[in-house]
Chains A and B, each alone.
Chain A
Protein backbone atom coordinates (compact mmCIF):
# COMPACT_ATOMS: atom_id res chain seq x y z
CA UNK A 1 0.00 0.00 0.00
CA UNK A 2 1.22 3.51 -0.75
CA UNK A 3 1.19 6.63 1.36
CA UNK A 4 -1.50 8.77 -0.22
CA UNK A 5 -2.20 12.34 0.81
CA UNK A 6 -5.81 13.55 0.85
CA UNK A 7 -6.76 17.21 1.08
CA UNK A 8 -9.50 17.39 3.66
CA UNK A 9 -10.89 20.72 4.81
CA UNK A 10 -14.49 21.78 5.42
CA UNK A 11 -13.63 25.36 4.58
CA UNK A 12 -13.61 24.42 0.88
CA UNK A 13 -17.40 24.08 1.20
CA UNK A 14 -17.63 27.84 1.72
CA UNK A 15 -17.36 28.73 -1.97
CA UNK A 16 -21.03 29.01 -2.82
CA UNK A 17 -22.48 29.31 -6.27
CA UNK A 18 -26.10 30.03 -5.44
CA UNK A 19 -28.98 27.64 -5.85
CA UNK A 20 -29.17 25.48 -8.94
CA UNK A 21 -25.54 25.70 -9.97
CA UNK A 22 -23.83 22.45 -10.88
CA UNK A 23 -20.54 23.34 -9.15
CA UNK A 24 -21.98 23.06 -5.66
CA UNK A 25 -20.57 22.43 -2.18
CA UNK A 26 -22.65 19.21 -2.23
CA UNK A 27 -20.11 17.77 -4.66
CA UNK A 28 -17.40 18.02 -2.05
CA UNK A 29 -19.67 16.53 0.59
CA UNK A 30 -20.25 13.62 -1.79
CA UNK A 31 -16.48 13.20 -2.23
CA UNK A 32 -15.91 13.07 1.53
CA UNK A 33 -18.86 10.70 1.95
CA UNK A 34 -17.40 8.30 -0.58
CA UNK A 35 -14.06 8.17 1.21
CA UNK A 36 -15.71 7.83 4.63
CA UNK A 37 -18.13 5.08 3.69
CA UNK A 38 -15.33 3.03 2.17
CA UNK A 39 -13.39 3.25 5.40
CA UNK A 40 -10.47 4.90 3.65
CA UNK A 41 -9.84 7.79 6.03
CA UNK A 42 -7.58 5.85 8.41
CA UNK A 43 -5.35 4.82 5.49
CA UNK A 44 -4.89 8.35 4.13
CA UNK A 45 -2.51 11.08 5.19
CA UNK A 46 -4.88 13.97 5.71
CA UNK A 47 -3.72 17.40 4.58
CA UNK A 48 -5.33 20.56 5.80
CA UNK A 49 -5.75 23.58 3.57
CA UNK A 50 -3.89 26.80 4.23
CA UNK A 51 -3.84 30.10 2.34
CA UNK A 52 -1.43 29.95 -0.59
CA UNK A 53 1.25 32.61 -0.85
CA UNK A 54 0.24 35.22 -3.43
CA UNK A 55 3.55 34.81 -5.21
CA UNK A 56 2.40 31.37 -6.43
CA UNK A 57 -0.88 32.73 -7.78
CA UNK A 58 1.13 35.47 -9.48
CA UNK A 59 3.34 32.83 -11.06
CA UNK A 60 0.38 32.12 -13.34
CA UNK A 61 -2.13 34.97 -13.16
CA UNK A 62 -1.80 38.67 -13.76
CA UNK A 63 -1.91 40.83 -10.61
CA UNK A 64 -4.88 42.64 -12.15
CA UNK A 65 -6.90 39.44 -12.43
CA UNK A 66 -6.11 38.50 -8.83
CA UNK A 67 -7.12 41.92 -7.53
CA UNK A 68 -10.31 42.04 -9.59
CA UNK A 69 -11.39 38.65 -8.27
CA UNK A 70 -10.69 39.62 -4.68
CA UNK A 71 -12.61 42.84 -5.15
CA UNK A 72 -15.56 41.12 -6.82
CA UNK A 73 -15.81 38.78 -3.83
CA UNK A 74 -15.52 41.54 -1.23
CA UNK A 75 -18.15 43.58 -3.02
CA UNK A 76 -20.31 40.43 -3.23
CA UNK A 77 -20.88 40.95 -6.94
CA UNK A 78 -22.23 37.41 -7.27
CA UNK A 79 -20.60 36.69 -10.60
CA UNK A 80 -17.20 37.33 -12.16
CA UNK A 81 -16.31 37.74 -15.84
CA UNK A 82 -19.30 35.65 -16.95
CA UNK A 83 -22.73 34.67 -15.57
CA UNK A 84 -21.55 31.05 -15.35
CA UNK A 85 -18.98 32.08 -12.74
CA UNK A 86 -21.13 32.38 -9.68
CA UNK A 87 -19.33 33.19 -6.46
CA UNK A 88 -19.80 34.65 -3.01
CA UNK A 89 -17.86 36.67 -0.47
CA UNK A 90 -15.83 33.65 0.66
CA UNK A 91 -14.84 32.46 -2.78
CA UNK A 92 -11.50 34.26 -3.03
CA UNK A 93 -10.34 32.98 0.37
CA UNK A 94 -11.58 29.49 -0.46
CA UNK A 95 -9.68 29.48 -3.73
CA UNK A 96 -6.48 30.47 -1.91
CA UNK A 97 -7.05 27.77 0.69
CA UNK A 98 -7.55 25.12 -1.96
CA UNK A 99 -4.34 26.11 -3.71
CA UNK A 100 -2.42 26.24 -0.47
CA UNK A 101 -3.58 22.73 0.35
CA UNK A 102 -2.59 21.51 -3.10
CA UNK A 103 0.88 23.05 -2.85
CA UNK A 104 1.32 21.44 0.56
CA UNK A 105 0.44 18.09 -0.99
CA UNK A 106 3.00 18.71 -3.71
CA UNK A 107 5.64 19.59 -1.13
CA UNK A 108 4.95 16.43 0.81
CA UNK A 109 5.27 14.32 -2.32
CA UNK A 110 8.54 15.99 -3.30
CA UNK A 111 9.94 15.47 0.19
CA UNK A 112 8.96 11.83 0.11
CA UNK A 113 6.61 12.13 3.07
CA UNK A 114 3.83 10.73 0.87
CA UNK A 115 3.99 8.87 -2.43
CA UNK A 116 1.05 10.52 -4.19
CA UNK A 117 -2.05 12.58 -3.42
CA UNK A 118 -5.63 13.46 -4.31
CA UNK A 119 -6.80 17.02 -3.73
CA UNK A 120 -10.54 17.58 -3.91
CA UNK A 121 -10.42 21.30 -4.52
CA UNK A 122 -13.12 23.87 -5.10
CA UNK A 123 -13.41 25.98 -7.17
CA UNK A 124 -12.01 23.98 -10.13
CA UNK A 125 -9.20 25.47 -12.23
CA UNK A 126 -8.46 24.21 -15.72
CA UNK A 127 -10.58 26.77 -17.63
CA UNK A 128 -9.02 29.75 -15.82
CA UNK A 129 -6.70 31.75 -18.06
CA UNK A 130 -3.88 34.04 -17.02
CA UNK A 131 -6.21 37.01 -16.91
CA UNK A 132 -9.71 35.61 -17.12
CA UNK A 133 -12.05 33.41 -15.12
CA UNK A 134 -14.12 30.92 -17.13
CA UNK A 135 -16.33 27.88 -16.76
CA UNK A 136 -16.59 28.02 -12.93
CA UNK A 137 -12.79 28.37 -12.64
CA UNK A 138 -11.02 31.42 -11.16
CA UNK A 139 -7.43 30.38 -10.50
CA UNK A 140 -5.80 27.54 -12.41
CA UNK A 141 -4.95 25.18 -9.56
CA UNK A 142 -3.01 22.64 -11.60
CA UNK A 143 -1.07 25.30 -13.52
CA UNK A 144 -0.04 26.91 -10.23
CA UNK A 145 1.09 23.54 -8.90
CA UNK A 146 3.14 23.02 -12.07
CA UNK A 147 4.86 26.40 -11.75
CA UNK A 148 5.53 25.63 -8.06
CA UNK A 149 7.23 22.40 -9.10
CA UNK A 150 9.31 24.16 -11.75
CA UNK A 151 10.31 27.23 -9.75
CA UNK A 152 10.54 25.96 -6.16
CA UNK A 153 11.58 22.36 -6.68
CA UNK A 154 13.71 22.71 -9.79
CA UNK A 155 11.68 20.10 -11.62
CA UNK A 156 12.46 20.25 -15.33
CA UNK A 157 9.63 18.25 -16.81
CA UNK A 158 6.05 18.25 -15.53
CA UNK A 159 3.41 16.14 -17.27
CA UNK A 160 -0.22 17.24 -16.98
CA UNK A 161 -2.97 14.79 -17.93
CA UNK A 162 -6.44 16.34 -18.15
CA UNK A 163 -9.26 13.80 -18.22
CA UNK A 164 -12.12 16.19 -17.51
CA UNK A 165 -14.78 15.98 -20.27
CA UNK A 166 -14.02 19.59 -21.22
CA UNK A 167 -10.79 20.87 -22.70
CA UNK A 168 -8.56 22.69 -20.22
CA UNK A 169 -8.11 25.81 -22.32
CA UNK A 170 -6.52 27.70 -19.44
CA UNK A 171 -3.87 25.10 -18.71
CA UNK A 172 -3.04 24.63 -22.36
CA UNK A 173 -2.68 28.36 -23.03
CA UNK A 174 -0.61 29.00 -19.92
CA UNK A 175 2.01 26.45 -20.97
CA UNK A 176 1.52 26.60 -24.72
CA UNK A 177 5.02 27.90 -25.42
CA UNK A 178 6.73 26.10 -22.54
CA UNK A 179 8.61 22.88 -23.31
CA UNK A 180 9.04 22.02 -19.64
CA UNK A 181 5.32 21.28 -19.20
CA UNK A 182 3.59 18.69 -21.38
CA UNK A 183 -0.15 19.26 -21.52
CA UNK A 184 -2.27 16.26 -22.56
CA UNK A 185 -6.05 16.41 -22.74
CA UNK A 186 -8.81 13.96 -23.67
CA UNK A 187 -12.16 15.73 -23.95
CA UNK A 188 -15.38 16.01 -25.87
CA UNK A 189 -14.78 17.40 -29.34
CA UNK A 190 -14.81 21.22 -29.31
CA UNK A 191 -17.41 21.41 -32.05
CA UNK A 192 -19.90 19.79 -29.67
CA UNK A 193 -18.82 20.95 -26.24
CA UNK A 194 -17.60 23.83 -24.14
CA UNK A 195 -15.19 25.59 -24.41
CA UNK A 196 -14.70 25.05 -28.13
CA UNK A 197 -10.93 24.62 -27.97
CA UNK A 198 -8.60 21.62 -27.92
CA UNK A 199 -8.52 20.59 -31.54
CA UNK A 200 -6.09 17.96 -32.78
CA UNK A 201 -3.98 20.45 -34.62
CA UNK A 202 -3.28 22.50 -31.47
CA UNK A 203 0.16 21.18 -30.63
CA UNK A 204 1.92 23.99 -28.84
CA UNK A 205 3.57 27.16 -30.01
CA UNK A 206 7.17 28.28 -30.47
CA UNK A 207 9.50 26.54 -28.04
CA UNK A 208 6.50 24.62 -26.70
CA UNK A 209 5.69 23.12 -30.07
CA UNK A 210 5.15 19.39 -29.62
CA UNK A 211 4.47 19.67 -25.89
CA UNK A 212 0.69 19.97 -26.15
CA UNK A 213 -1.41 17.02 -27.24
CA UNK A 214 -5.18 17.05 -27.65
CA UNK A 215 -7.39 14.02 -28.20
CA UNK A 216 -10.93 15.16 -28.91
CA UNK A 217 -13.56 12.43 -28.53
CA UNK A 218 -16.88 12.37 -30.33
CA UNK A 219 -20.20 12.46 -28.43
CA UNK A 220 -21.13 8.90 -27.50
CA UNK A 221 -17.60 7.58 -27.22
CA UNK A 222 -16.46 5.95 -23.99
CA UNK A 223 -14.31 3.24 -22.43
CA UNK A 224 -12.94 1.68 -25.63
CA UNK A 225 -11.91 4.93 -27.22
CA UNK A 226 -10.37 6.34 -24.04
CA UNK A 227 -8.12 3.32 -23.54
CA UNK A 228 -7.24 3.33 -27.23
CA UNK A 229 -6.10 6.96 -27.27
CA UNK A 230 -4.15 6.64 -24.02
CA UNK A 231 -2.22 3.74 -25.55
CA UNK A 232 -1.84 5.30 -28.96
CA UNK A 233 -1.08 8.89 -27.96
CA UNK A 234 -0.32 9.49 -24.28
CA UNK A 235 1.91 6.50 -23.63
CA UNK A 236 4.40 7.20 -26.44
CA UNK A 237 4.35 10.92 -25.72
CA UNK A 238 5.27 10.38 -22.08
CA UNK A 239 7.78 7.69 -22.99
CA UNK A 240 9.60 10.38 -24.89
CA UNK A 241 8.96 13.32 -22.54
CA UNK A 242 9.66 11.36 -19.36
CA UNK A 243 7.82 13.62 -16.89
CA UNK A 244 9.47 13.85 -13.50
CA UNK A 245 6.07 14.49 -11.85
CA UNK A 246 2.56 13.88 -13.20
CA UNK A 247 -0.33 16.16 -12.33
CA UNK A 248 -3.83 14.95 -13.16
CA UNK A 249 -6.70 17.33 -13.82
CA UNK A 250 -9.26 14.81 -12.64
CA UNK A 251 -12.71 15.71 -13.88
CA UNK A 252 -15.40 13.06 -13.60
CA UNK A 253 -17.96 14.58 -15.95
CA UNK A 254 -17.23 12.23 -18.85
CA UNK A 255 -19.30 9.63 -17.04
CA UNK A 256 -22.29 8.32 -19.00
CA UNK A 257 -24.65 9.45 -16.24
CA UNK A 258 -23.21 12.94 -15.81
CA UNK A 259 -25.24 15.26 -17.99
CA UNK A 260 -22.56 17.90 -18.43
CA UNK A 261 -21.13 15.99 -21.37
CA UNK A 262 -22.14 13.55 -24.10
CA UNK A 263 -19.28 11.17 -23.38
CA UNK A 264 -20.02 7.72 -22.01
CA UNK A 265 -17.27 6.54 -19.71
CA UNK A 266 -18.32 3.88 -17.24
CA UNK A 267 -17.31 3.75 -13.57
CA UNK A 268 -14.93 0.91 -14.39
CA UNK A 269 -13.63 2.94 -17.34
CA UNK A 270 -12.49 5.69 -14.96
CA UNK A 271 -10.67 3.11 -12.87
CA UNK A 272 -8.89 1.70 -15.91
CA UNK A 273 -7.73 5.17 -16.88
CA UNK A 274 -6.39 5.96 -13.42
CA UNK A 275 -4.56 2.64 -13.18
CA UNK A 276 -2.89 3.45 -16.47
CA UNK A 277 -1.84 6.89 -15.23
CA UNK A 278 -0.42 5.48 -12.00
CA UNK A 279 1.56 2.98 -14.11
CA UNK A 280 2.98 5.83 -16.18
CA UNK A 281 3.96 7.66 -13.00
CA UNK A 282 5.71 4.53 -11.74
CA UNK A 283 7.57 4.17 -15.01
CA UNK A 284 8.81 7.75 -15.38
CA UNK A 285 8.13 9.82 -12.28
CA UNK A 286 9.16 7.57 -9.39
CA UNK A 287 5.46 7.16 -8.69
CA UNK A 288 4.95 10.89 -8.08
CA UNK A 289 1.42 11.62 -9.21
CA UNK A 290 -0.87 14.30 -7.76
CA UNK A 291 -4.49 14.26 -8.81
CA UNK A 292 -6.64 17.39 -8.53
CA UNK A 293 -10.44 17.55 -8.79
CA UNK A 294 -11.84 19.52 -11.71
CA UNK A 295 -15.44 18.80 -12.87
CA UNK A 296 -17.81 15.93 -12.13
CA UNK A 297 -21.27 17.05 -11.24
CA UNK A 298 -23.28 14.02 -10.23
CA UNK A 299 -23.62 13.96 -6.49
CA UNK A 300 -24.91 10.37 -6.84
CA UNK A 301 -21.88 9.14 -8.73
CA UNK A 302 -19.07 11.02 -7.04
CA UNK A 303 -18.82 8.89 -3.87
CA UNK A 304 -18.10 5.69 -5.80
CA UNK A 305 -15.90 7.37 -8.41
CA UNK A 306 -13.73 9.03 -5.79
CA UNK A 307 -13.57 5.90 -3.67
CA UNK A 308 -12.20 3.99 -6.66
CA UNK A 309 -9.85 6.81 -7.62
CA UNK A 310 -8.35 7.09 -4.16
CA UNK A 311 -8.12 3.31 -3.76
CA UNK A 312 -6.06 3.12 -6.92
CA UNK A 313 -3.69 5.80 -5.60
CA UNK A 314 -3.37 3.85 -2.38
CA UNK A 315 -2.51 0.77 -4.40
CA UNK A 316 -5.38 -1.26 -2.99
Chain B
Protein backbone atom coordinates (compact mmCIF):
# COMPACT_ATOMS: atom_id res chain seq x y z
CA UNK B 1 0.00 0.00 0.00
CA UNK B 2 2.79 2.41 -0.83
CA UNK B 3 2.18 5.61 -2.71
CA UNK B 4 4.64 4.89 -5.46
CA UNK B 5 2.35 2.12 -6.75
CA UNK B 6 -0.70 4.35 -7.07
CA UNK B 7 0.69 7.75 -7.98
CA UNK B 8 0.66 9.24 -11.45
CA UNK B 9 4.23 9.23 -12.67
CA UNK B 10 3.96 11.20 -15.92
CA UNK B 11 3.28 14.61 -14.49
CA UNK B 12 2.82 17.83 -16.42
CA UNK B 13 4.85 20.58 -14.76
CA UNK B 14 5.48 24.30 -15.20
CA UNK B 15 8.49 26.48 -14.45
CA UNK B 16 8.54 29.47 -12.08
CA UNK B 17 8.98 31.89 -14.96
CA UNK B 18 6.21 30.54 -17.18
CA UNK B 19 3.43 32.97 -18.01
CA UNK B 20 0.04 32.80 -16.34
CA UNK B 21 -2.05 33.00 -19.50
CA UNK B 22 -0.17 30.10 -21.15
CA UNK B 23 -0.60 28.05 -17.99
CA UNK B 24 -4.31 28.77 -17.97
CA UNK B 25 -4.55 27.35 -21.47
CA UNK B 26 -2.60 24.28 -20.39
CA UNK B 27 -5.05 23.61 -17.56
CA UNK B 28 -8.04 24.25 -19.80
CA UNK B 29 -6.84 21.59 -22.24
CA UNK B 30 -6.47 18.89 -19.59
CA UNK B 31 -8.51 17.39 -16.76
CA UNK B 32 -6.10 17.87 -13.89
CA UNK B 33 -6.33 20.83 -11.57
CA UNK B 34 -2.97 20.94 -9.87
CA UNK B 35 0.34 21.79 -11.55
CA UNK B 36 3.62 21.28 -9.71
CA UNK B 37 6.19 24.02 -10.25
CA UNK B 38 9.74 22.73 -10.68
CA UNK B 39 13.17 24.19 -11.37
CA UNK B 40 15.56 23.06 -14.14
CA UNK B 41 16.65 20.12 -12.03
CA UNK B 42 13.10 18.95 -11.46
CA UNK B 43 13.15 20.01 -7.83
CA UNK B 44 9.74 21.00 -6.50
CA UNK B 45 9.44 24.67 -5.59
CA UNK B 46 5.71 25.21 -5.45
CA UNK B 47 2.30 24.28 -6.71
CA UNK B 48 -0.25 26.21 -8.71
CA UNK B 49 -3.89 25.24 -8.93
CA UNK B 50 -6.57 26.26 -11.34
CA UNK B 51 -8.13 28.20 -8.50
CA UNK B 52 -4.95 30.29 -8.14
CA UNK B 53 -5.14 31.10 -11.85
CA UNK B 54 -8.80 32.02 -11.74
CA UNK B 55 -8.18 34.31 -8.77
CA UNK B 56 -5.53 36.12 -10.80
CA UNK B 57 -7.93 36.83 -13.67
CA UNK B 58 -9.43 40.31 -13.96
CA UNK B 59 -12.82 40.73 -12.40
CA UNK B 60 -15.81 40.63 -14.73
CA UNK B 61 -17.03 43.80 -13.07
CA UNK B 62 -14.24 46.03 -14.41
CA UNK B 63 -14.95 48.31 -17.34
CA UNK B 64 -13.17 48.05 -20.67
CA UNK B 65 -10.21 50.32 -19.89
CA UNK B 66 -9.56 48.74 -16.54
CA UNK B 67 -9.78 45.27 -18.12
CA UNK B 68 -7.18 46.19 -20.70
CA UNK B 69 -4.76 47.42 -18.01
CA UNK B 70 -5.36 44.26 -16.02
CA UNK B 71 -4.66 42.10 -19.06
CA UNK B 72 -1.36 43.89 -19.69
CA UNK B 73 -0.37 43.35 -16.09
CA UNK B 74 -1.31 39.68 -16.36
CA UNK B 75 0.75 39.21 -19.50
CA UNK B 76 3.79 40.19 -17.45
CA UNK B 77 3.03 38.06 -14.41
CA UNK B 78 4.83 34.82 -13.84
CA UNK B 79 3.80 31.60 -12.15
CA UNK B 80 6.16 32.31 -9.28
CA UNK B 81 3.99 35.34 -8.42
CA UNK B 82 0.86 33.32 -7.75
CA UNK B 83 2.04 29.84 -6.78
CA UNK B 84 1.91 28.34 -3.31
CA UNK B 85 5.46 27.88 -2.11
CA UNK B 86 6.22 24.88 0.10
CA UNK B 87 3.12 22.87 -0.64
CA UNK B 88 2.27 19.79 1.42
CA UNK B 89 4.12 16.83 -0.06
CA UNK B 90 4.44 13.09 0.47
CA UNK B 91 7.22 10.66 -0.37
CA UNK B 92 7.06 7.46 -2.44
CA UNK B 93 7.57 5.52 0.80
CA UNK B 94 4.47 6.96 2.44
CA UNK B 95 1.43 4.71 2.54
CA UNK B 96 -2.04 5.19 1.09
CA UNK B 97 -3.39 5.51 4.62
CA UNK B 98 -0.93 8.35 5.27
CA UNK B 99 -2.23 10.04 2.15
CA UNK B 100 -5.89 9.58 2.96
CA UNK B 101 -5.50 10.86 6.53
CA UNK B 102 -3.41 13.77 5.36
CA UNK B 103 -5.96 14.65 2.72
CA UNK B 104 -8.68 14.67 5.35
CA UNK B 105 -6.58 16.87 7.64
CA UNK B 106 -5.23 19.35 5.08
CA UNK B 107 -8.28 19.42 2.84
CA UNK B 108 -6.29 19.41 -0.36
CA UNK B 109 -7.07 17.34 -3.42
CA UNK B 110 -3.59 16.32 -4.49
CA UNK B 111 -0.02 16.01 -3.24
CA UNK B 112 3.23 16.22 -5.18
CA UNK B 113 5.34 13.16 -4.42
CA UNK B 114 9.00 14.09 -3.86
CA UNK B 115 12.09 12.06 -3.04
CA UNK B 116 14.74 12.83 -0.44
CA UNK B 117 16.47 15.33 -2.73
CA UNK B 118 13.26 17.26 -3.21
CA UNK B 119 12.89 16.07 -6.81
CA UNK B 120 9.41 15.51 -8.15
CA UNK B 121 8.57 11.81 -8.64
CA UNK B 122 4.81 12.02 -9.29
CA UNK B 123 1.44 13.35 -8.18
CA UNK B 124 -1.06 11.61 -5.93
CA UNK B 125 -4.58 12.93 -6.27
CA UNK B 126 -7.91 12.00 -4.72
CA UNK B 127 -8.68 10.19 -7.99
CA UNK B 128 -5.65 7.93 -7.56
CA UNK B 129 -6.76 7.16 -4.00
CA UNK B 130 -10.29 6.32 -5.11
CA UNK B 131 -8.91 3.92 -7.68
CA UNK B 132 -6.61 2.27 -5.14
CA UNK B 133 -9.41 1.78 -2.61
CA UNK B 134 -11.89 0.46 -5.18
CA UNK B 135 -9.24 -2.15 -5.84
CA UNK B 136 -8.64 -2.89 -2.17
CA UNK B 137 -12.35 -3.15 -1.41
CA UNK B 138 -12.65 -5.69 -4.21
CA UNK B 139 -15.55 -3.72 -5.64
CA UNK B 140 -14.78 -4.73 -9.19
CA UNK B 141 -14.88 -8.45 -8.49
CA UNK B 142 -18.19 -10.27 -8.52
CA UNK B 143 -19.29 -11.29 -5.05
CA UNK B 144 -21.85 -11.00 -2.27
CA UNK B 145 -21.67 -8.87 0.85
CA UNK B 146 -22.48 -10.34 4.26
CA UNK B 147 -23.12 -8.26 7.33
CA UNK B 148 -22.47 -9.72 10.77
CA UNK B 149 -22.80 -8.14 14.23
CA UNK B 150 -19.87 -9.17 16.36
CA UNK B 151 -18.88 -8.69 20.01
CA UNK B 152 -15.79 -6.60 20.53
CA UNK B 153 -13.63 -9.52 21.58
CA UNK B 154 -10.36 -10.96 20.38
CA UNK B 155 -10.90 -14.06 18.29
CA UNK B 156 -14.38 -13.29 16.94
CA UNK B 157 -13.10 -12.37 13.50
CA UNK B 158 -11.11 -15.59 13.30
CA UNK B 159 -14.18 -17.71 14.06
CA UNK B 160 -16.09 -16.04 11.27
CA UNK B 161 -13.25 -16.33 8.79
CA UNK B 162 -12.72 -20.00 9.67
CA UNK B 163 -16.43 -20.78 9.32
CA UNK B 164 -16.50 -19.22 5.86
CA UNK B 165 -13.21 -20.76 4.76
CA UNK B 166 -14.49 -24.23 5.71
CA UNK B 167 -17.10 -23.79 2.99
CA UNK B 168 -14.27 -23.23 0.47
CA UNK B 169 -15.29 -19.66 -0.19
CA UNK B 170 -12.70 -16.98 -0.76
CA UNK B 171 -12.71 -13.43 0.50
CA UNK B 172 -12.63 -10.30 -1.63
CA UNK B 173 -12.25 -8.07 1.43
CA UNK B 174 -13.41 -7.69 5.02
CA UNK B 175 -14.49 -4.34 6.34
CA UNK B 176 -15.21 -3.51 9.94
CA UNK B 177 -17.46 -0.71 11.06
CA UNK B 178 -16.29 0.23 14.48
CA UNK B 179 -19.21 1.88 16.19
CA UNK B 180 -22.22 -0.12 15.14
CA UNK B 181 -23.71 -0.54 18.62
CA UNK B 182 -22.61 -0.52 22.28
CA UNK B 183 -19.86 -3.12 22.59
CA UNK B 184 -20.47 -4.44 19.08
CA UNK B 185 -18.86 -4.02 15.71
CA UNK B 186 -20.29 -4.80 12.32
CA UNK B 187 -18.15 -7.01 10.11
CA UNK B 188 -18.71 -6.99 6.36
CA UNK B 189 -17.02 -9.87 4.57
CA UNK B 190 -17.23 -9.55 0.80
CA UNK B 191 -17.37 -13.12 -0.46
CA UNK B 192 -16.38 -14.09 -3.96
CA UNK B 193 -19.32 -16.38 -4.57
CA UNK B 194 -22.96 -16.19 -5.47
CA UNK B 195 -24.02 -18.99 -3.19
CA UNK B 196 -24.22 -17.63 0.36
CA UNK B 197 -27.49 -19.03 1.70
CA UNK B 198 -25.83 -21.97 3.48
CA UNK B 199 -23.01 -19.81 4.88
CA UNK B 200 -25.56 -17.45 6.37
CA UNK B 201 -27.46 -20.35 7.94
CA UNK B 202 -24.23 -21.71 9.38
CA UNK B 203 -23.29 -18.37 10.95
CA UNK B 204 -26.75 -18.03 12.48
CA UNK B 205 -26.45 -21.54 13.90
CA UNK B 206 -23.12 -20.56 15.42
CA UNK B 207 -24.96 -17.81 17.28
CA UNK B 208 -24.06 -14.80 15.15
CA UNK B 209 -26.56 -12.12 14.40
CA UNK B 210 -26.71 -11.27 10.73
CA UNK B 211 -27.69 -7.76 9.90
CA UNK B 212 -30.63 -8.16 7.62
CA UNK B 213 -30.23 -5.74 4.70
CA UNK B 214 -34.00 -5.44 4.75
CA UNK B 215 -33.73 -3.75 8.13
CA UNK B 216 -31.59 -1.05 6.61
CA UNK B 217 -33.96 -0.51 3.78
CA UNK B 218 -37.14 -0.68 5.81
CA UNK B 219 -37.38 3.04 6.15
CA UNK B 220 -37.01 3.54 2.42
CA UNK B 221 -39.85 1.21 1.56
CA UNK B 222 -43.24 2.84 1.01
CA UNK B 223 -45.44 2.61 4.05
CA UNK B 224 -48.74 0.77 3.58
CA UNK B 225 -51.62 3.28 3.26
Contacts and interface: CB of A to CB of B under 8 A. Distances in A.
Interface of A: 21-22, 82-84, 127, 134-136, 166, 169, 191-197, 218-221, 224, 259-260, 262
A197 B170 CA distance: 19
Interface of B: 139-145, 168-170, 192-195, 197, 212-214, 217-218, 220-222
Given A134-B142, A135-B142, A192 B213 contact: yes
B119 to A, nearest CB: 39
A219 B213 contact: yes
Nearest to B138: A196
Contact of A219 (B139, B142, B217): B217
Given A83-B170, A195-B143, A220-B217, 12 more contacts: A82-B193, A83-B168, A83-B193, A84-B195, A136-B194, A193-B144, A196-B142, A218-B221, A220-B213, A220-B221, A224-B222, A260-B195
Contacts of A196: 139-144
B78 to A, nearest CB: 42
Contacts of A135: 142, 194
Contacts of B212: 219
Q: What is the predominant secondary structure among interface residues of chain B facing chain A?
A: loop
B49 to A, nearest CB: 28
A50 B54 CA distance: 68
A259 B214 CA distance: 14
26 contacts: A82-B192, A83-B168, A84-B194, A84-B195, A127-B142, A134-B142, A192-B144, A192-B213, A194-B142, A194-B193, A194-B194, A195-B143, A196-B140, A196-B141, A197-B142, A218-B213, A218-B221, A219-B212, A219-B213, A219-B214, A219-B217, A220-B214, A220-B221, A221-B221, A260-B195, A262-B213
A218 B140 CA distance: 20
Contacts of A127: 142
Given A221-B221, A260-B194, A260-B197, A194 B214 contact: no
A201 to B, nearest CB: 14
B216 to A, nearest CB: 8
A220 B143 CA distance: 19
Contacts of A169: 142
Contacts of A83: 168-170, 193
Contacts of B213: 192, 218-220, 262
Contacts of B197: 259-260
- Most-contacted residue by chain B among A127, A166, A191, A194 (CB, 10 A): A194
A260 B196 CA distance: 8
Contacts of B143: 194-196
Q: SS class of chain A's interface: helix, strand, loop or mixed?
A: loop
Contacts of A262: 213-214
A227 to B, nearest CB: 13
Contacts of A224: 222
Nearest to B220: A218
Contacts of B142: 127, 134-135, 169, 194-197
Nearest to B198: A20
A219 B194 CA distance: 15
Nearest to B197: A259
Contacts of B193: 82-84, 194
Contacts of B221: 218, 220-221
A195 B221 CA distance: 23
A262 B170 CA distance: 22
A136 B142 CA distance: 13
B225 to A, nearest CB: 12
Nearest to A264: B214
A311 to B, nearest CB: 30
A127 B144 CA distance: 14
With most chain B CB atoms within 10 A of its CB, the pick from A83, A136, A169 is A83
Contacts of B145: 191-192
Nearest to A191: B145
A166 B192 CA distance: 14
A193 B194 CA distance: 8
Contacts of A134: 142
B220 A194 contact: no
A102 B47 CA distance: 62
A165 to B, nearest CB: 10
Nearest to B193: A84
Which 3 residue pairs are nearest across A and B when measured between Cβ atoms? A195-B142, A220-B214, A194-B194
B193 to A, nearest CB: 5
B67 to A, nearest CB: 41
A187 to B, nearest CB: 12
Nearest to A127: B142
Contacts of A21: 195
A166 B194 contact: yes
Nearest to B201: A259
A134 B144 CA distance: 13
